[in-house]
Chain A
Amino acid sequence: MTGCHDYHVTRRAMMGASAATLLGFSVRELLAAKGRDHEATADNVILFWNGGGMTHLDTWDPKPGRPTQGEFEPINTSVPGMQISEIFPEFAKQMHNVALIRSIAGTQGAHGRATYQLQTSYNQTSNVVHPGFGSVVVHEKEAVGDLPAYVTISGQAPRSSYLGQSCSAYFVGSPGDKDPYLAFSEGISEVRGNKRLETLAKFNGRFAGKTSSLELESTKTSVTDAVRLMRSPALKAFELDHIPLTQFERYGDTPFGRGCLVAKQLVETGVRFVQVNRGGFDTHSNNFEAMRNHGEVMDPALASLMQDLDESGQLKKTLVVMLSEFGRTPKINKDGGRDHYPGVFSCFMAGGGIKGGQVIGSSDEDGYKPKDRPVQVPDLHATLCHALGINPEKEVMTPLQRPMKLIDGGKAVMELFG
């Protein structure tokens, strides 16, 4: 049984799951009832994907006093001795909940191949497409409630590939905006729309004997799911109309801030995996101006999100991760930019069983190489698997009957779990 809306297998178990929600079980109780989750420290993931390759030196791994430092100073955080860049003054106050990894040893320096590896754990090859990590999660974890288990905000998620289209991400273009495909077309009232649906079911019932397609049953299921989603009260989690203005302001009132607000609402509703995309990190020129801008947008949103998740208790079960393709060159180029640099870079992880306030590994004094505790890219995915109670070694069969491991090797960074 998987959490994907897999239209090729029986869905009785899943129907059971949603019935249970209706009967008044909370999300948490429902998950606790599933024996397989016993090792998991996290139920949900919010992944921040920073497209373009975010500089590690100007964010999580400052190099004060070195020629590679650049324009920013490090600042103190809520954890003594743990410093980050000045562009995150508010987020710095949340570092007691956040673990940094400063010794990721990347191997891919091109956007496409690096994105592929960071998002799938696998290196890109020409003969097989590997599913994104979010698809792996929703393939392995039971879906909860009516909402799609995997949502991507403000950008594309990687493909679900052999895990099937049903494990692919639900796309939200502009967070807070209503998805017009979730309501009857303009001018079609609820009554009329529902009548149309009834007639459609009748017509499809008559047609059932006229084709030998094995897919007809799953077409029906897809319509049932679509209608259930359209009618679900949980859809409110995609909307921000009810959010008070002060809350928008706290998050910075930006598309990114709205993305964070929607992500928070989605994980509270039981959505397993939310990817929040943000681009513009490919800072070949004017790195510092760009990063200062990014800081102004990201800092209030990230800080508020961490604070809110922490206060509501949701952070205990929600893993918050920020990843990017690679770091950037310690040497600042003639255009005031930094170029692609996979040799060493950083990320943060928080919540979902991660012990905050610690730094894993370090880079050398100028940020060129891992100094100690190098972490390979698949180690990151193995770590996420560990938190989610997913066996990374598990094999799934591709449609061409090739067995594939969920994750391309890698060892969980156990220090993160305290």
Chain B
Amino acid sequence: MNWELWSTGFQSRKNYTSWESSIVARMWTVICVAVLTAMNSGVALADSPVDGAQLSQVLNRENGELGVKVKPVSLVDDTAYLRRVSVDLIGRIPNHDEIQEYLTWPAAERRSKLIDRLMADQRFVDRWTTFLADMLRLRSNTPGGSAALAFVHKAIEEDMPYDEMASRFISANGKAGAVPEVAYVLGDNADPMALAGVTSQVFMGIRISCAECHNHPFDKWTREDFYGFAAYFGKTRRYENDFTNTVYTQEATTSSVLWPPEGEGEASARKQVLPKFLIDLIDSKANPEFIARLETTRKNERDLIEASLAGAQKDSSIDDLLGDAADNVINSARGKKKSSFDVATEARRERDSIDLAADMRSQSELRRDLAALIASPRNRYFAWNFVNRTWAELVGRGIVEPVDDFSDANVPSHPKTLDFLADEFVAGGFQIKPLVKMIVTSEPYQRGQAVEFEPAEQEELRAAFLAAPARRMLGEVLYDSILTAGHLFEYKHPQGANTKTVSERIRVAVPREGEEGAVTPQLLASADGGAAMKGQMSAAMAAQRTGFNLESGIELNFDDVLKQAKEKATATVVVEKMEVKSSEELEAERMQMDSRNQRRFRYVYKTIERTFDDNPIFGSAFRMASPAAPQHFVRIFGQTDRTQVGVPRDHSPSMRQALMMLNGKMTHEASRVGPYEPMHNLLVGKQADLDEAVRRAYLEILTRDPVDDEVDLAKSIVTDGDSTLEGMADLRWVLLNSNEFRYLP
């Protein structure tokens, strides 16, 4: 393990034998998790600002130095802030109760209280897993992809430092699924050339892939630089075991990265390239303040743990520590019993790997060196890249833009602000949550949009982070926000209240003459779109079966995925094998089945009637296997397929988006009023109150009260309906489809 990497104070102890150092490293596994848990429980370990006031000052000062003259747009009001920050931190709009409670808090502490609550929400973990999954290009449909998603989820939940997370992804070796992090290397088929380009761009924002074939046209990178960097991946090989159906990586003794490049010069003259890192790190003799602070942060972490350990495990041997007893140690160290980052299993697994001398499971030495260089606190690009990506995700525009293109030709707009963010991130121990918190509590995040200005001035304001750019919700956020506003996470109609009979065209196979066989009716179109009905069917399969079920998806239970992966590698393999099928392959299989059937059968059409209870519920888009099927709602609204590096989400409108929102099952069901909703009683019965109903609709959907003539307009829509329930459905449909719903305030 490379826990040494993130523990800078520990790096000096390199004179251990390899056995000793691995034991010590594993002790650190135990210790560090306990530290993190302690941090979770509110013990401040890092000397880092937890609010954005200082960040705002730094930016304002820098704007002054840059000669920015325009005056900033004022901060958004409390409800707009609530909507904006809920979307960014928990991936959905706030619901009615949350809005009401928020408004009861004293104005002075409203925003900070809200942040604390949202940061502790389980949905924060879901939302930011998607951020990292996009960045790392994790895909459920690749070997070990789901396990990797689950791993990131767990890592965010447990506050694993980002440098540690990155190191693990860069250096992992082993079996897909069983070692979740290895999905990163397997995602590019362990191809050194692909991984070189991807790794520098993803973790450092440095684009070198052009230099694979030619010296970089706009940058300093040469082909020699590229090959030197690729050499870190040169010994890693991808293997497939057909017998056990496993995919894994392993280190070979020779490198596949050779110079001169293929086809240029005699084959016999090609030599293995020695690994060479791209950039210089901050000199080890220099000791900038943020590194000193990082050392303090990590020393505090260690002290706390050592104190806990001293009390908890006086008599424990190393074996106990690494074995089952580790659980107890951790639990007592953090003072509660809760499943942890599965340290015990982790430790056991590592112990086993030594006993078995199974080099298949060990890390790549070359890539461990690489991880140490990339994730070093002395590598400015590593921290710049991550803080800039996080800033861009929240503020809507990077200090360097595009976020993965740091180069002499594309310098940061606000280098000092970027440095400040990076320094604080490193000094605080590479913790993601405090970074997010610092940004969302800063002024640039809270600014309003410069709507009343001319386009040129708007741009000037946005470039100086003195006005917020217009941002559309991510596809997943839009999906979950429709579910939130429309009460579709839970049943809103009584069972059986929406029983419907639909006619369906069914194709019935009849054996051709001279052929025998079972006759299987085949459903051509299905009227229900509910997730619950689909069970385990993936969206891709469902889409192909019925043609058009493009709004529900297969749910990933992250805990189960990880548990399975760790407990029994073979169980995972089955899952992965299913997942690894692309939609094209599924399509091909279906076609093949079809063609076999077609030879033996001919088809006749029948219309049948089918009765079902149309009371659909949906699960969160953040828990779906991702990326979703190509025509799925979240894909149409910008989720990428995560195969290519540096392809940002496309937030531009399209006709297909319009069709899905105007006519989709989800918008329709969200608009309908169910008896289990509070809205119902405001429309029918003794307590009916049209004003209150309209107000509620606006709060639930737009997180604000109706203003001016909106109340009258809305009331007329409701009363114009066939019934007030239907009229309210019309109003809600309009609000859900409105631009105000999908663009952030």
Interface residues of A (CB under 8 A from B): 5, 7-8, 51-52, 115, 125-129, 148, 154-156, 159, 161, 164-166, 168, 170-174, 177-186, 188, 192, 195-197, 199-200, 203-204, 207-216, 218-219, 221-223, 225-227, 229-230, 252-255, 277-282, 290, 292-294, 296-297, 400
The reply to whether B655 and A280 form a contact with Cβ atoms under 8 Å apart is: no
Q: Which of A161, A204, A278, A280 contacts B739 (CB 8 A)?
A: A204
The reply to whether B738 and A204 form a contact with Cβ atoms under 8 Å apart is: yes
6 extra interface residue pairs, beta carbon distance < 8 Å, beyond A173-B544, A294-B595, A297-B594 = A165-B654, A210-B451, A211-B740, A219-B653, A219-B739, A279-B585
* A141 CA to B722 CA, complexed, in Å: 46
User: A170's closest neighbor in chain B, by CB?
Assistant: B656
Which chain A residues border B653 with CB–CB below 8 Å?
7, 215, 218-219, 221-222
Q: Which of A52, A127, A172, A185 contacts B646 (CB 8 A)?
A: A127
The reply to whether A181 and B739 form a contact with Cβ atoms under 8 Å apart is: no
- 6 A–B contacts, CB within 8 A, in A order: A51-B584, A203-B734, A207-B738, A218-B653, A252-B598, A279-B588
A8-B652, A126-B645 known; A177+B525 contact, CB < 8 A: yes
| Binary contact readout B190-209 vs A (1 if CB under 8 angstroms, 0 otherwise) | 00011001100000000101
Q: Which of A127, A171, A186, A218 contacts B631 (CB 8 A)?
A: A171
The reply to whether B739 and A196 form a contact with Cβ atoms under 8 Å apart is: no
User: At the interface, yes or no: B188 with Cβ under 8 Å from chain A?
Assistant: yes
A215-B653, A223-B662, A293-B595 known; A129+B647 contact, CB < 8 A: yes
Interface residues of B (CB under 8 A from A): 188, 193-194, 197-198, 207, 209-210, 402, 405, 449-451, 453, 458, 467, 469-470, 472, 524-525, 527, 543-544, 546-548, 583-585, 587-592, 594-596, 598-599, 602-603, 630-631, 641, 643-647, 650-660, 662-665, 667-668, 717, 720, 730, 733-735, 737-740, 743
The reply to whether A203 and B738 form a contact with Cβ atoms under 8 Å apart is: yes
The reply to whether A211 and B594 form a contact with Cβ atoms under 8 Å apart is: no
Which chain A residues border B662 with CB–CB below 8 Å?
184, 197, 223, 226-227, 230
Most buried by A among B197, B458, B647, B655: B655
Q: Which of A8, A166, A253 contacts B603 (CB 8 A)?
A: A253
The reply to whether A173 and B210 form a contact with Cβ atoms under 8 Å apart is: no
The reply to whether A126 and B588 form a contact with Cβ atoms under 8 Å apart is: no
* A21 CA to B363 CA, complexed, in Å: 65
The reply to whether A222 and B658 form a contact with Cβ atoms under 8 Å apart is: yes
A215-B470, A218-B652 known; A126+B595 contact, CB < 8 A: no
* A184 CA to B661 CA, complexed, in Å: 10
Most buried by A among B198, B591, B630, B643: B591
Number of A-B contacts (CB under 8 A): 216
Give A187 Cβ to nearest chain B Cβ, in Å: 8
Instruction: Determine chain B's interface SS by DSSP, over half rule.
Output: helix
Which chain B residues border A165 with CB–CB below 8 Å?
650, 652, 654
Which chain B residues border A127 with CB–CB below 8 Å?
197, 207, 209-210, 644-646
Which chain B residues border A170 with CB–CB below 8 Å?
656
Which chain B residues border A182 with CB–CB below 8 Å?
659, 663
Which chain B residues border A294 with CB–CB below 8 Å?
595
The reply to whether A254 and B588 form a contact with Cβ atoms under 8 Å apart is: no
Which chain A residues border B655 with CB–CB below 8 Å?
5, 148, 166, 222, 225-226, 229
Which chain B residues border A196 with CB–CB below 8 Å?
730, 733-734
User: A187's closest neighbor in chain B, by CB?
Assistant: B668
The reply to whether A195 and B591 form a contact with Cβ atoms under 8 Å apart is: no
**What are the 7 A-B residue pairs with the smallest beta carbon separation, nearest first?**
A279-B588, A173-B547, A213-B470, A280-B592, A226-B658, A185-B668, A174-B547
Q: Which of B188, B467, B599, B740 contacts A207 (CB 8 A)?
A: B740
* A231 CA to B672 CA, complexed, in Å: 24
* A223 CA to B588 CA, complexed, in Å: 34
The reply to whether B739 and A211 form a contact with Cβ atoms under 8 Å apart is: yes
Q: Which of B469, B583, B657 contacts A212 (CB 8 A)?
A: B469
The reply to whether B657 and A222 form a contact with Cβ atoms under 8 Å apart is: yes
The reply to whether A200 and B588 form a contact with Cβ atoms under 8 Å apart is: no
Which chain A residues border B646 with CB–CB below 8 Å?
127, 400
Give B317 Cβ to nearest chain A Cβ, in Å: 48
The reply to whether A181 and B650 form a contact with Cβ atoms under 8 Å apart is: no
The reply to whether B644 and A7 form a contact with Cβ atoms under 8 Å apart is: no
Which chain B residues border A252 with CB–CB below 8 Å?
598
Most buried by B among A166, A203, A210, A294: A203
The reply to whether A181 and B659 form a contact with Cβ atoms under 8 Å apart is: yes
User: B543's closest neighbor in chain A, by CB?
Assistant: A173
Which chain B residues border A115 with CB–CB below 8 Å?
584
Which chain B residues border A155 with CB–CB below 8 Å?
583-584, 587
The reply to whether A225 and B658 form a contact with Cβ atoms under 8 Å apart is: yes
The reply to whether A185 and B665 form a contact with Cβ atoms under 8 Å apart is: yes
* A400 CA to B402 CA, complexed, in Å: 8
The reply to whether A174 and B524 form a contact with Cβ atoms under 8 Å apart is: yes
A156-B584, A156-B630, A207-B740 known; A180+B730 contact, CB < 8 A: no
The reply to whether A209 and B739 form a contact with Cβ atoms under 8 Å apart is: no
The reply to whether A192 and B730 form a contact with Cβ atoms under 8 Å apart is: yes
Which chain A residues border B654 with CB–CB below 8 Å?
5, 7, 165-166, 168, 222
Give A183 Cβ to nearest chain B Cβ, in Å: 6
User: B547's closest neighbor in chain A, by CB?
Assistant: A173
The reply to whether A199 and B730 form a contact with Cβ atoms under 8 Å apart is: yes
The reply to whether B644 and A279 form a contact with Cβ atoms under 8 Å apart is: no
